């Protein structure tokens, strides 16, 4: 990654107490608080012109749920990480900055149960079946076991 871009990111990240790590030559990880995430991404998109959001990943981090925004610009990867507590899984939507994020947010809502405030389609299901039980935990959390999903959705195969 160009030195210039890293410096710019580090200066900006320092203002909001964010942590920058560069494990590989062209890959950067930045940890940003949930309250600053919209400012940070709007800075990336509008000031630094890093426009391409590849996707968003949800992570089960034990007490928290991690949300990673993967940006690419040429050979540089910029991964912006943010966490929300499992007890109150609400994050801010970035659809007003990047309209292409709408399906990725819906996907994380389906698979991790995070609600994104500001996403107009967030209450629709995208991937999960319509008859997914409301009291069953989201499928990609580590505590949700595949056997339990099969049982609740009546997907068990009888072995003879």
Partner 1 sequence: MSDEPKRREESAGLMEYSVENLVPFGPIHPALKEPEYFKLILEGEKIVQVIPRIGYVHRGLEKAAESRPWVQNMYMFERTCGICSFVHSLCYGQAVEGLTIYEVPRRAKYIRLIISELERIHSHLLWVGLMGHWAGFETLFMWVWNDREVVLDLVEAISGNRVHKSMNAFCGVRRDMPENMEDRIVERMKFITDRAHYYREVIDTEETMLARTENVGNKINQETAEKLCAVGPMARYVGLRHDVRLNDPYAAYDEVPFDIVTRTEGDVRALLRLRLDELVVSANMVSYAVKHLPDGPIRVKIAPIIPAGEHSAHCEAPRGEIFYYVKSTGGRTPDRVKSRQPTMANIPTALELLKGQELADLPMVLTAIDPCFGCMDRMSFLETESQKQWTWSGEQLRQYGIKHYFPERFNANSSKFKEDH
Between 3-15 and 37-46, two packed helices, what is the crossing angle to 10 degrees? Answer: 150
Residue among 15 and 20 whose Cβ is closer to partner 1? 20
Based on its alpha-carbon atoms, the radius of gyration of the chain, rounded to whole angstroms, reads 18
Half-sphere exposure of 52 (CA within 13 A, CB side): 7
In the complex, least distance from residue 76 CB atom to partner 1, rounded to whole angstroms: 8
Binding window for partner 1 (CB under 8 A); candidates: 8-16, 31-39, 86-94, 98-106 = 98-106
Binding window for partner 1 (CB under 8 A); candidates: 1-9, 12-20, 25-33, 86-94 = 25-33
Is residue 54 close enough to count as binding partner 1 by CB under 8 A? yes
Is residue 101 close enough to count as binding partner 1 by CB under 8 A? yes
Residue among 55 and 90 whose Cβ is closer to partner 1? 55
Interstrand relation of 52-61 and 115-117 (parallel, antiparallel or unpaired): unpaired
Is residue 140 close enough to count as binding partner 1 by CB under 8 A? yes
Is residue 65 close enough to count as binding partner 1 by CB under 8 A? no
What residues make contact with partner 1 under the rule CB under 8 A? 23-24, 26-27, 29, 51-55, 57-60, 68, 70, 72, 74-75, 77, 79, 98-104, 110-111, 121, 124-130, 139-140, 142, 146, 149
């Amino acid at each position: 990654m160009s030195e210039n871009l890293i410096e710019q990111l580090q200066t900006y990240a320092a203002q909001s107490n964010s942590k920058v790590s560069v494990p590989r030559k062209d890959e950067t990880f930045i940890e940003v608080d949930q309250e600053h995430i919209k400012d940070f991404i709007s800075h990336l998109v509008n000031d630094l012109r890093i426009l391409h959001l590849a996707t968003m990943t949800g992570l089960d981090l034990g007490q928290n749920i991690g949300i990673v925004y993967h940006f690419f610009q040429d050979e540089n990867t910029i991964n912006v990480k943010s966490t929300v507590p499992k007890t109150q899984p609400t994050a801010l939507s970035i659809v007003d900055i990047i309209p292409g994020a709408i399906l990725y947010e819906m996907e994380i809502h389906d698979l991790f149960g995070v609600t994104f405030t500001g996403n107009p389609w967030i209450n629709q299901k995208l991937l999960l079946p319509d008859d997914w039980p409301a009291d069953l935990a989201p499928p990609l959390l580590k505590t949700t076991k595949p056997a339990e999903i099969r049982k609740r959705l009546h997907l068990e195969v009888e072995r003879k």
